[in-house]
Amino acid sequence: MGCGDAVPEGGVPAESIPEVVDSTIAPEGWETVANQYQSFTLTQPSTVRFGLGETWVTKELAAGSVYCFFNPDPAPGKFKTCQRKTQQNPVPEPALSPACATFYPSGFALSSARQAPAVPALAKPAKGVAVSEPTYKTCLVRATDHTADGVSGFARNDYSRRQAFNSNSTKQLVYALDGYWHVYDANTRARLKQLSGPAGDAEPQWHPTNPDLLYYLPTNGIGMKLHELNVATGATRVVGDFGARLKARWPAAMAAWTKAEGSPSADGRYWCFMVDATDWVSAGVFTWDRDTNTILGMYDTHGDRPDHVSMSPSGNYCVVSGDGAGGTAAFSRDFSTRTQLLGISQHSDLALDANGEDVYVAIDYGSNEGDVFMVNLRTGVRTALFATYLSGTATALHVSGKAFARPGWVVVSTYADGGGSLQWLHRKLLAVQLKANPTVYTLAHHRSSPNGYWTTPVASVNRDFTRVVFNSNWGNGSDTDVDTYVVELPANALQ
C-alpha cells in the first residue's frame, strides 16, 4: 500500500504457527533437488554436488534416478543436500509483445515537451489490442479484463515499488480484490493461473534470473518465513525461517515483512525486513543474506514503527522509512552507519543512477516547490529533479525504480492533482532521468479518475524499461472497476 494507506494487520499470534526446520536456499547457479538419503530424478545429464557450506563432492551424472548420498562423505555427521547445477544462460532481452511488435516506425522519438494538452477522449481499449496513445504516440495495450478473465472485483498492478514482470518480461503479476494473486502471459495477455500460496499482503517478488520463480511472505509476514514458489509447477519451499533467530532477540516477535513496499537487492541476495511483535508493536529491523541464510545485522526500533523498509538495489543499504523521530534513513547492512534521507516517509522508491549507485527518489511536499528529488545513499548528496508546485497546484505521485538493467531512469505516475489548472506533469506516466535538470519523457495519460486507493495508477517499470504497467478505471469514476494497462517502448527509446 502507499504511505498512509490502511493495511489490514490482523492474524493469529506467532505462538499458534508451528516452527519448521529452516531450509537453506542454494546459491546462484545451483538448485537444491533433494535432502540427504532422498532419491530424485534427472531428466537430462547434469552436474550434481552433495554436501553443505563450502564442502562438496561433485559428480557428472546421466539422466535417471539418483540417491542423495555420495562417497566419500564430504561432512560426516552433518546434514547435507544434493544440488543440481543450473544452466547459466543469460536472460534474453525482451522483445515487444506481438501486439506492439510492428507498431513503432523507424525514427520514433518520445516527447520531452513540458506541455499540458487536454486529455483527449479515447474509448476503453479491448484487451490485448494495441492502441496508439493519442497524444504521445506510444503503444498502449490493455492487459486485463477482470470481468471476462474471472478475476474478482478488479485486476490491478499491486504497487509501484513492486516488480510486476518476471525476469524476461514473459509473465505479469496481477492482484485481485479478494486478495488472490494471478499470473498473466505478458505477451498474449492470457490469464494463466491463480496462485496457490500468496494471499493478501504477501509481497511477491520475482526471482531476478529464473522467470518461473518468485518469493513471497505469509500474509502480513505473520510466521516470519520467506517462501519460494515455482509458478509453472506450483512447487514451493521455505528459503528463510527467521522465527527462532528473531525471537532470540525480540521474544514477542510475530511478523517479519517490509510492510508491503519493500524489495530485495537487484540480484535477489540481500533482504531487509521489519519485525512486529504482539499487537503490532515495532520491535526492530534486520538484514538477511539469502545465499548464506545469515542474518547480517539487527536494529532495535523501540516501538517507533516504520512505514516500510527496503533493501537498496546494490544490497549495501537497508532504507527505513517512517514518520517518527527517525524519519527516512539509509543504514549499512550491519546498521553501523546511518544516512538521513528525509524527515518523514513519502511516496518513493530506490533506484540505480547512471553510475550504478543507489539513490532514493521521492517527493518532498515540505520543500518550497514540492520537489521530486533524489539522494545518493553513499554520499548523502541531494539533487532536485523537478518541481510539482506549479501555478498554485499540487499532485500526488508514485515512483518506480525497478529498471535495474536501465540505470539512470525511473517512472513517475501522477494523479489527484488540484489547486488550479492542468499542468505539464499532471495525470501522466513519466520517464524521469536521474540527474540535475533531467530529461522527462511523457509516456501516456493514464485516464484513471481518482476515487480511492484502488484507482491510483501506481505505475511500475520492468527491468529494461521496455514495459510500464499501470492501473486505470478509464475515467468511469468507479472505485473498483479497474484493470491494468501496459505501455511498451522500444529498447532504445530513452536517450
| Pair 82, 104: CB distance under 8 Å | no
Residue range 185-207: average pLDDT?
A: 97
Q: Is pLDDT above 70 for 172?
A: yes
Q: Quick one: average pLDDT of 96-100? A: 97
pLDDT at 87 over 70: no
**Amino acid code (one letter) for 211:** P
Q: For 102-123, give one letter per residue: b (16+ CB within 10 A) or e.
A: ebbeeeeebeeeeebeebeebe
Please tell me the pTM assigned to this model: 0.83
Q: What is the model's pLDDT at position 95?
A: 78
3-state helix, strand, coil in the chain (%, to 5): 5, 40, 55
Name which of 410, 411, 374, 416 is nearest 393 in CA terms.
416
Give the lowest-confidence range in 66-75, 197-206, 255-264, 329-338.
66-75
**Distance (Å, whole) CA 29 – CA 207:** 13
| Arithmetic mean of pLDDT, 158-168 | 97
Q: Residue 23 pLDDT > 80, yes or no?
A: no
CB 31 within 8 A of CB 86: yes
Residue 14 has pLDDT above 60, yes or no: no
pLDDT at position 13 over 60: no
CATH 2.130.10 domain range(s) in the chain: 95-101+121-260+274-300+347-488
**pLDDT of amino acid 217:** 99
**CA–CA separation, 408 and 359 (whole Å):** 10
Q: What pLDDT shows up at residue 26? A: 60
Round the average pLDDT of the chain to a whole number and report it.
Answer: 92
Is the Cβ–Cβ distance between 361 and 384 less than 8 Å?
no
Give 377's pLDDT tier (boundaries 50, 70, 90): very high
CA angle 288, 34, 22 (to 5 degrees): 30
The pLDDT, as a whole number, for residue 27 is 66
Residue 24 has pLDDT above 70, yes or no: no
Cα–Cα distance for residue pair 434/465, rounded to 1 Å: 14
If one counts every other C-beta atom within 10 angstroms of the C-beta of residue 475, the result is 15
Segment among 11-15, 136-140, 342-346, 481-485 with least mean pLDDT: 11-15
| Cell matching residue 430 | 513519466
pLDDT of residue 18: 28
**Which amino acid appears at position 352 of this protein?**
L
pLDDT above 70 for 263: yes
CATH topology (fold) of 95-101+121-260+274-300+347-488: Methylamine Dehydrogenase; Chain H (2.130.10)
Cα 374 from chain centre: 19
| Residue linked to cell 493461473 | 193
Using a pLDDT cut of 90, give the percent of the chain over it. 84
Q: Which three cell numbers stand for residue 112?
A: 520531452
Q: pLDDT-derived band of residue 266, with 50, 70 and 90 as boundaries? A: very high
Residue 46: band (very low, low, confident or very high) from pLDDT cuts 50, 70, 90: confident
Q: Give dist(CA 206, CA 349) in Å, integer.
A: 17
Listed range (44-48, 79-83, 108-112, 417-421) with the worst mean pLDDT: 44-48
pLDDT digits 0-9 by tens, 115-141: 999 999 999 999 999 999 999 999 999
Q: Quick one: cell of 244?
A: 527462532
Per-residue pLDDT tens over the stretch 387-413: 999 999 999 999 999 999 999 999 999
Q: 121 is written with which cell numbers? A: 477522449
Q: Report which of residues 2 and 54 the model is more confident about.
A: 54
Written as one string, the DSSP assignment of 3-72 is TT---------GGGSPP----PPPPTTEEEEEETT-EEEESS-EEEEEEETTEEEEEEE-SEEEES--SS
Query: What is the pLDDT, as a whole number, of residue 101?
Result: 96
| Vertex 284 angle, CA 219 and 400, to 5° | 60
pLDDT score of 59:
86
Per-residue model confidence (pLDDT) at position 19: 31
Please tell me the predicted confidence (pLDDT) of residue 92: 54
| DSSP-H helix ranges across 193-241 | none
Alpha helices for 30-186 (secondary structure H): 146-149
C-alpha cell, 359 = 539513490
Residue found under cell 500460496: 197
Label residue 9 by pLDDT band (50, 70, 90).
very low
Residues 6+ apart with CB under 8 A from 399: 160, 161, 347, 348, 349, 351, 361, 362, 363, 372, 410, 411, 412
Q: Is the pLDDT of residue 365 over 50?
A: yes
Q: Is the pLDDT of residue 20 over 60?
A: no
Tens digits of per-residue pLDDT, 432-468? Answer: 999 999 999 999 999 999 999 999 999 999 999 999 9
- Name the residue with higher pLDDT: 59 or 340: 340
Q: For 183, how many CA atoms within 13 A lie in the half-sphere containing its CB?
A: 25
Taking residue 7's Cβ as centre, other Cβ atoms within 10 Å add up to 13
Look at residue 45 in the predicted model and tell me its pLDDT.
Answer: 78
Query: Which residues have CB under 8 Å from 87's CB, separation 6+?
Result: none
CB-based contact 461:403 (threshold 8 Å): yes
Q: Calculate mean pLDDT across residues 7-29.
A: 40
What pLDDT does residue 300 have? 98
Alpha carbon distances (Å) from 169 to 91, 164, 310, 459, 490: 10, 9, 23, 15, 14
Chain center to CA of 236:
19
